Amino acid sequence: MTFPLSKAAFGCTIAMLAQPVAAQDTQTQYPLVIENCGETVTFERAPQNAVALGQNSAEILLMLGLEDRLAATAFWPNSVLDELAEANSKVTLLTVEFPTLEAVLEQEPDFVAAALPTLLGPDSRLAKRDDLARLAIPSYLSPSVCLARQADDDAYGSRDALWSMEPLFQEIDELSRIFNVADRGQALIADFRTREAALRARFDHDPDLSFVFWFSSPSPADDAYVGGGNSASGYIADLLGGRNAITTDAEWPTVSWEGIIAAGPSAIVVAELDRDRWELDNAGTKIAWLTSDPTVSQMEAVRAGRLFVMAGAAMNPTIRTLYGAEELAAQLEQMRAAGN
């Protein structure tokens, strides 16, 4: 799911990350105090035995070359990036789904990083930050998902402005300083900034281009989980010159197909998921249903064949978002070259 240019850029970044951190002024001074999603977290030393809950947290730490200090990971919607597979093979995988708190604590972590509030938060069924604080385990939640909730069923919160890469860059910077590898963090951020700018320069604004990003559904009869208007999916649509046809502020709204038809997207992006929780996690199954259902198949996007596939992890505000945008950009350019 990567492209030659991205892999080359990533390879250059890895080469930079492999350089020893020698500059004195980049050394983290402990205790390090970080304000994170409304919590003040103090680090007395660099973690040596961390647990990453969520693909984004794990892949950032792997990109920072920290596999030797990563005890275990959990919750992976997609397989790890090819470039990180070897490093990831050295780390224990608890489960691709939600682990238990007991399984996490069995790793005797000295730090827990999480990618989603459902993995670590006040309403998480896995753990609350207080649970870890009482055990003197510092925790960190991705700044991209520190969102206010507008309703009881708004588990992932709502976003009143379009997500950007800046909270992700903040996350990379803070994690690199927590682990005392700030140089590696800055190199990674610089690489992402270059790739983002290059991608935005490739696409002019197109007022007729609108997307729906379909993550998954328990069944065709159920409402679909789609990327909210200001979510990472909305960011990808904007980056490629279009817009998200779904305009709700909720990060992960569930929308009926009547509602999606009414939104009138000119293109549909279906997520490819490797977790295999539901039959519709598979992109091919999604497309087969879209093109065969008597009603949904009559949507303009379906009849015109403007159906794209993207890794589901990219629809969360993560490092995979830019990879997903590059993946979608290539398909969009191929479609336009074919005159569609």
Q: Give the C-alpha distances (Å, rounded to integers) separating 218 from 196, 246, 300, 311.
A: 33, 20, 24, 18
* Domain contains 70: yes
Task: Read off the CATH number of the domain in which 282 is found.
Answer: 3.40.50.1980
**pLDDT (tens place) for every residue of the chain, 340 residues total:** 333 334 444 444 444 444 444 444 689 999 999 999 999 999 999 999 999 999 999 999 999 999 999 999 999 999 999 999 999 999 999 999 999 999 999 999 999 999 999 999 888 989 999 999 999 999 999 999 998 776 766 778 899 999 999 999 999 999 999 999 999 999 999 999 999 999 999 999 999 999 999 999 999 999 999 999 999 999 999 999 999 999 999 999 999 999 999 999 999 999 999 988 899 999 999 999 999 999 999 999 999 999 999 999 999 999 999 999 999 999 999 999 988 7
Is residue 297 within 8 A of residue 303, CB to CB? The reply is yes
Tokens of 306: 């403007």
Q: For residue 127, is it within any domain? A: yes
- Cα 282 from Cα 188, distance rounded (Å): 31
- Last residue of one domain, picked from the residues 145, 161, 194: 194
Q: Domain for residue 168, yes or no?
A: yes
114 and 159 share one domain: yes
For residue 25, the model assigns a pLDDT of 64
Distance, in Å, from the CA atom of 18 to the CA atom of 39, rounded to the nearest integer, reads: 32
Could you tell me which of 279, 269, 277, 323 has the C-alpha nearest to residue 75? Answer: 277
Domain end residue (candidates: 146, 168, 194): 194
169 and 309 belong to one structural domain: no
Structural contact between residues 64 and 181, judged by C-beta atoms closer than 8 angstroms: yes
The answer on 98 and 167 residing in a single domain is: yes
Q: Are 164 and 234 part of one and the same domain?
A: no
**Domain boundary, last residue among 194, 212, 238:** 194
3-state secondary structure of 4: helix
**Residue spans of alpha helices (H) in the chain:** 4-17, 55-63, 85-88, 101-105, 129-133, 166-178, 182-201, 232-239, 257-263, 283-290, 300-303, 320-337
pLDDT of residue 3: 31
- The structure tokens listed for 208 are 């007729």
Query: Is residue 91 classed as helix, strand or coil in its secondary structure?
Result: coil
Residue 312: DSSP 8-state: G
Show the domain range for 252.
204-338
* 18 located within any domain: no
- The number of folded domains in the chain is 2
Q: 142 with 241, same domain?
A: no
Q: What is the CA radius of gyration of the chain?
A: 20
